[in-house]
Amino acid sequence: MRFHIILTAALALVGPAAAQEHAPHAGTWTYGGATGPERWSELDPANAACAVGQQESPVDLKGAITADLGALDIDWSPLPAAARDTGHAIQQDAPPGSTMAVGGQTYRLLQFHIHQPAEHLLDGRRFPLEIHFVHAGPDGVLGVLGVFAEVGAASAPLEAVIDSLGATAAGPALDPNGFLPTGRDFFRYEGSLTTPPCSETVDWVLLSDPITVSQAQVDTFERLHPGNTRPVQPLHRRFLLRSQH
Ligand SMILES: [Zn+2]
């Protein structure tokens, strides 16, 4: 017993220094292993919400309450294809001028990026891809529109994204509207970034209808960033809302 107490005290003394020496840089988070989602909160104090947050994303879109959410107005302009690898996803930045309006708020499109497989589930179903269109809203809030993709016909704008990767000059104009399904039914909930620091500052909008991409396109993202998908988080006390048909 006494020995145990002394040993514990000794470990406490060397503990902090050893921890510092081995602490990864805040940016070195991953989707698996010692710096994976279960450890994100330990990589940087700023990532605390990843572990203790009560409004985290992604979630399973099930048990939604149907409500009058008003119209979802998307006003996006074509942009020069110039995708890049952030180290965690393939991302395409958007020049100013494209917006999304929902619930009386207008959000400005900043960028979109791709997760493989999807992060949100649709009543338990996981799609092979999910595209996140990240918009800036008022007061530091983000409005992220999520679009699911299933395997079928190839997506022309996704092909433009793939073609522009590593290209030295911007490719031809890419029309992001080509990523939108015909149906505009959507889910809404208050959530978070799905990457560190997991900030709970995101107004999530997810379209219920998927678009199609080819199996070859899915394979491309499986090769580039396999499994860049945060596990599903509990809904806790939040309401998940669904637009009326
Ligand atoms: Zn994302």
- CATH number, domain with residue 234: 3.10.200.10
State which residues form the domain around 116: 52-243
pLDDT value for 24: 46
pLDDT value for 2: 42
- Ligand 1 geometric centre to CA of 173 (Å): 23
- The per-residue DSSP string of 116-185 comes to SS-SSEETTB--SEEEEEEEE-GGG-EEEEEEEEEESSPPHHHHHHHHHTT-SS--SEE-GGGG--S---
Q: How many separate domains does the chain show?
A: 1
- Decide if 143 contacts 203 (C-beta within 8 A): yes
pLDDT value for 27: 62
Rounded to two decimals, what is the model's pTM?
A: 0.89
- Ligand 1 geometric centre to CA of 132 (Å): 5
In a domain, 32, yes or no: no
- Ligand 1 geometric centre to CA of 1 (Å): 50
Structure-derived torsion over alpha carbons of residues 103, 106, 108, 114, reported in degrees to the nearest 10: 10
pLDDT value for 65: 97
- Ligand 1 geometric centre to CA of 37 (Å): 14
If one counts every other C-beta atom within 10 angstroms of the C-beta of residue 165, the result is: 16
pLDDT value for 169: 78
- Ligand 1 geometric centre to CA of 139 (Å): 20
- Ligand 1 geometric centre to CA of 96 (Å): 20
pLDDT value for 245: 66
Amino acid at 53: G
Amino acid at 107: Y
- Ligand 1 geometric centre to CA of 232 (Å): 13
In a domain, 6, yes or no: no
- Ligand 1 geometric centre to CA of 12 (Å): 39
In a domain, 34, yes or no: no
* pLDDT per residue of the chain (245 residues) written in tens, 0 to 9: 344 444 444 444 444 444 444 444 546 899 999 999 999 999 999 999 999 999 999 999 999 999 999 999 999 999 999 999 999 999 999 999 999 999 999 999 999 999 999 999 999 999 999 999 999 999 999 999 999 999 999 999 999 999 999 788 776 789 999 999 999 999 999 999 999 999 999 999 999 999 999 999 999 999 999 999 999 999 999 999 999 86
In a domain, 29, yes or no: no
Helix, strand, coil abundance in the chain, percent, nearest 5? 25, 30, 45
Alpha-carbon distances of 3 from 34, 104, 133, 200, rounded to whole Å: 31, 65, 57, 45
Residue ranges with CB less than 5 Å from ion ligand 1:
132
- Ligand 1 geometric centre to CA of 89 (Å): 8
- Ligand 1 geometric centre to CA of 66 (Å): 25
In a domain, 27, yes or no: no
pLDDT value for 49: 98
- Ligand 1 geometric centre to CA of 3 (Å): 50
In a domain, 96, yes or no: yes
- Ligand 1 geometric centre to CA of 114 (Å): 7
Instruction: Report d(CA 155, CA 209) in Å as an integer.
Output: 15
In a domain, 90, yes or no: yes
- Ligand 1 geometric centre to CA of 11 (Å): 40
- Ligand 1 geometric centre to CA of 5 (Å): 46
In a domain, 41, yes or no: no
